[in-house]
Amino acid sequence: MNLNYPKISIVTPSFNQGEYLEETICSILGQNYPNLEYIIVDGGSTDNSVEIIKKYEHRLAWWCSEKDNGHGHALNKGLGKCTGDIMAWLNSDDKYFPWTLYTVAEIFNEHNDVLWIVGKNAWFDEKGRLLDARNLYKNKFDYLTGNYQWIQQESVFWRKELWQLAGNTITDKYALMIDGELWKRFFMLTNLWHVNMVLGGYRGHGTNRAIVQNKKVHAEMLEITHEMFKVSSTNDQRIAKKIRFIRAILHWYFLKKAKTAVIYLCKALYMLAFTAKVKRQLVYKSLNYENNSWIKADVPYIIK
């Protein structure tokens, strides 16, 4: 395909992840994307991470290894140096797929109005083998109602203009859910587009912060979504309240194990609660590859 290759900037923050770091680096550089700006920010690792980084430094736009104040601080150092049209970060234990960067370029070239995308959620085991992948749709109303699980950071890419509109920085307010807070700001500005393809994946292992500190992850996300609700428009708040009400009734029926009743009740309440105009706001935005191009589609909103 004859593409005008937009510059893609990728940042990898890392600290003592030498066991996985080289596989992460190779998942990016191995694609040989012709307009890549790759930055690695190491937090002063004491394992073999620096040796690995030096092995690839001739292909890096910038790198450092020095003590920092945590994940968000490291990311801000790296993202602050990005000059690309498209941005993302990939943690040092996760991976992209071989076609990711070219696919991302195709999508953003074809659709000027698409400002951020996410691929299918994908999961690797500790050895880097693909375990599962599936679509998991989210929009701002999911966030507004606390249904935030999960927009997979490893599969998200955005235009630099959206990053600038959203404040041009990663928050230092949260220790763990800095990605969730950024998605909140993005949702306040535009729709998330779901790509019907795997782009990146999350590697599960015994030291994942999100797993080890699961309670704190959820506590931070609840605070983030509550903050979003407070600053949202009156109309969006009204819609979110209706969704919460219907969800509460449905969950009560599920507890009663009246599954057939749930199906009919869900359809009836959904039809009664929302006008056609509101339903158009609720849909998920999707991109499907058909006839050599990325076609936009709407996926109906489902109250879970």
User: What pLDDT, on the 0 to 100 scale, is given for residue 265?
Assistant: 67
pLDDT, one tens digit per residue, over 9-51 is 999 999 999 999 999 999 999 999 999 999 999 999 999 999 9
Short-list 13, 16, 20, 15, CA closest to 125: 20
Handedness of CA 143, 147, 149, 150 (dihedral sign): negative
User: What pLDDT, on the 0 to 100 scale, is given for residue 304?
Assistant: 75
For domain 8-228, give the fold. Answer: Spore Coat Polysaccharide Biosynthesis Protein SpsA; Chain A (3.90.550)
- Spatial distance between the Cα atoms of 91 and 291, rounded to a whole number of angstroms: 34
Burial group, residue 109, by CB count within 10 angstroms (0-12, 13-18, 19+): middle
173: β partners: none
The residues of the chain scoring below 70 in pLDDT are 1-3, 208, 210-211, 253-269, 271
User: What pLDDT, on the 0 to 100 scale, is given for residue 253?
Assistant: 63
User: What pLDDT, on the 0 to 100 scale, is given for residue 205?
Assistant: 87
